[in-house]
Amino acid sequence: MTEKRASIGARRNPETEAAVLDAATEILAEKGISGVTMEAVAKRARAGKATLYRWWPTRGALLMAVYRRRKQEICHPDTGTLEGDVKAVLESLFDHWSRPEGRVFRHIIAASQSDDDLREALEDYRLERLAHLGEIFERAAQRGTLSDDVPAQEMARAVMGMAWLHLLVGRLDADAAGIARTLVRGWVRPS
Amino acid sequence: MTEKRASIGARRNPETEAAVLDAATEILAEKGISGVTMEAVAKRARAGKATLYRWWPTRGALLMAVYRRRKQEICHPDTGTLEGDVKAVLESLFDHWSRPEGRVFRHIIAASQSDDDLREALEDYRLERLAHLGEIFERAAQRGTLSDDVPAQEMARAVMGMAWLHLLVGRLDADAAGIARTLVRGWVRPS
């Protein structure tokens, strides 16, 4: 909780920003995603609604900001092989999503099915994550081991597809090594 | 709409069953998934609530029944190769989900994030679909071309992961052939 704030310019004030994101996080925990309205968050943070809208033009953008802030940067350590890198990414995601962050993200995906603002904010975030995932495929390409049968962007989407599926069905205890093997190795015996 | 029904035994009466599923489908279209309560459906179908509960023990089970009924059986034609079979499955799913059925299923996945009954009903359905998908891997095994590096069940999950991701982010126009290639071919150049 923070004290009442005076009017704020267009530049973000880090304290107010933190107060708003704290407020949204609290409301999310208390009332679920539908409780997080711009009005309720502004009131709890003692900030002006105009300020909220200036910094997060939609409720979806604000919800994504809450998730992003709680998200430790998922790192992509160089394990020396693409299969190892995919395993490390999945382990890091499953671990992260096993905390309250996973609940937030599941509910963002769920609510985005009927909330266009949130859908748009999620899509921006998703494309950013896909680009970030690209790192591990660039490394494999530099090692000279990446197949050029398949575009790296499709590979990144496959990793994301497996991750989301396991999040949404509550199987974050799945075997990341097995999933990595499934994705990276071919399914057809070399003839 | 159907006429008022007399009390019904434990055996399902196909007409009543159809009336209940019609009613649930109508309410779903009018009010969204949260409008589909056992009470509202019973009332609209002029059936007893006890009957509904006897046949579909939870609201989740009823919603899954609505989706199942609308779902043309996704067929798995034998295209002669695993990659072709995966492509055909994805095309058939994307096509199916581009109709109102896709909306129903997206909303079932979304609502299952905060509804335990629905989550359980969806999980049953999901495991059934995974088993059904197993067909295409059995065929590949019979052809003698399936790699034994990866369990077929994991392969089925990867196909499902890609399908769900594309449904949930509204990318059902994606290139099924490209996705099939990504999944079936290895990502690492044979050394």
Which chain A residues in 47-106 lie under 8 Å from chain B, judged by CB atoms? 81-83, 106
Contact between chains at A154 and B179 (C-beta distance less than 8 A): yes
Q: Which residue is closest to A121 within chain B, CA to CA?
A: B169
What is the average pLDDT across A47-67?
91
What is the average pLDDT across A17-21?
94
Report the C-alpha gap between A97 and B28 in whole angstroms.
31
Given a cut of 50, whether residue A108 has pLDDT beyond it is yes
> Which pLDDT band holds residue A72 (cuts at 50, 70, 90)?
low
Nearest-CA distance B171 → chain A (Å): 11
- Tens digit of each residue's pLDDT (9 = 90 or more) over A146-169: 999 999 999 999 999 999 999 999
Question: Where along chain A do the CATH 1.10.357.10 domains lie?
Answer: 72-184
Q: A14-55 adopts what CATH topology?
A: Arc Repressor Mutant, subunit A (1.10.10)
Pair of tokens at residue A154: 């499709």
Q: Is A101 left (phi over 0), alpha (psi -120 to 50) or beta?
A: alpha
Given a cut of 60, whether residue B4 has pLDDT beyond it is no
Confidence at residue B93, expressed as pLDDT on a 0 to 100 scale: 94
Question: Where along chain A do the CATH 1.10.10.60 domains lie?
Answer: 14-55
Instruction: Residue A154: list chain B partners with CB under 8 A.
Output: 178-179, 181-182
3-state SS assignment for residue B185: coil
B189 CB near a chain A CB, below 8 Å?
yes
Given a cut of 90, whether residue A70 has pLDDT beyond it is no
In angstroms, what CA-CA distances link B119 with A23, B95, B110?
29, 25, 10
Report the C-alpha gap between B53 and A95 in whole angstroms.
38
Which residue of A106, A107, A154 is in closest CB contact with B178? A154
A172 CB near a chain B CB, below 8 Å?
no
Q: A72-184 adopts what CATH topology?
A: Tetracycline Repressor; domain 2 (1.10.357)
- Tens digit of each residue's pLDDT (9 = 90 or more) over B77-116: 899 999 999 999 999 999 999 988 888 899 899 989 988 9
Which chain A residues in 14-43 lie under 8 Å from chain B, judged by CB atoms? 32
Say which amino acid occupies B84. Answer: G
Given a cut of 90, whether residue A27 has pLDDT beyond it is yes
Which residue of B122, B154, B178 is in closest CB contact with A178? B154
Confidence at residue B172, expressed as pLDDT on a 0 to 100 scale: 97
- Tens digit of each residue's pLDDT (9 = 90 or more) over B122-146: 999 999 999 999 999 999 999 999 9
The angle subtended at Cα B187 by Cα B186 and Cα B189, nearest 5°, is: 85
Given a cut of 90, whether residue B185 has pLDDT beyond it is yes
Question: Where along chain B do the CATH 1.10.357.10 domains lie?
Answer: 73-184
Confidence at residue A73, expressed as pLDDT on a 0 to 100 scale: 67
Q: Which residue is closest to A154 within chain B, CA to CA?
A: B182
Q: Which residue is closest to B157 within chain A, CA to CA?
A: A162
Given a cut of 50, whether residue B7 has pLDDT beyond it is no
Q: Identify the CATH homologous superfamily for domain B73-184.
A: Tetracycline Repressor, domain 2 (1.10.357.10)
Report the C-alpha gap between B185 and B190 in whole angstroms.
11
Q: Three-state SS string across A55-98, please?
A: HCCCHHHHHHHHHHHHCCCCCCCCCCCHHHHHHHHHHHHHHHHC
Confidence at residue A8, expressed as pLDDT on a 0 to 100 scale: 44
Asked if B133 and B89 count as a contact pair (C-beta separation under 8 A), the reply is yes
Q: Which residue is closest to B110 within chain A, CA to CA?
A: A110
| Best CA proximity match to B166, nearest among B101, B100, B98 | B98
Given a cut of 60, whether residue A11 has pLDDT beyond it is yes
In angstroms, what CA-CA distances link B96 with A171, B70, B104?
26, 10, 11
> Long-range contacts of range B11-16, CB-CB < 8 Å, 24 or more positions apart?
B12/B55, B16/B45, B16/B47, B16/B51
Residue with tokens 């990276």: A184
- DSSP secondary structure code for residue A146 in this structure: B
Instruction: Residue A146: list chain B partners with CB under 8 A.
Output: 187-189
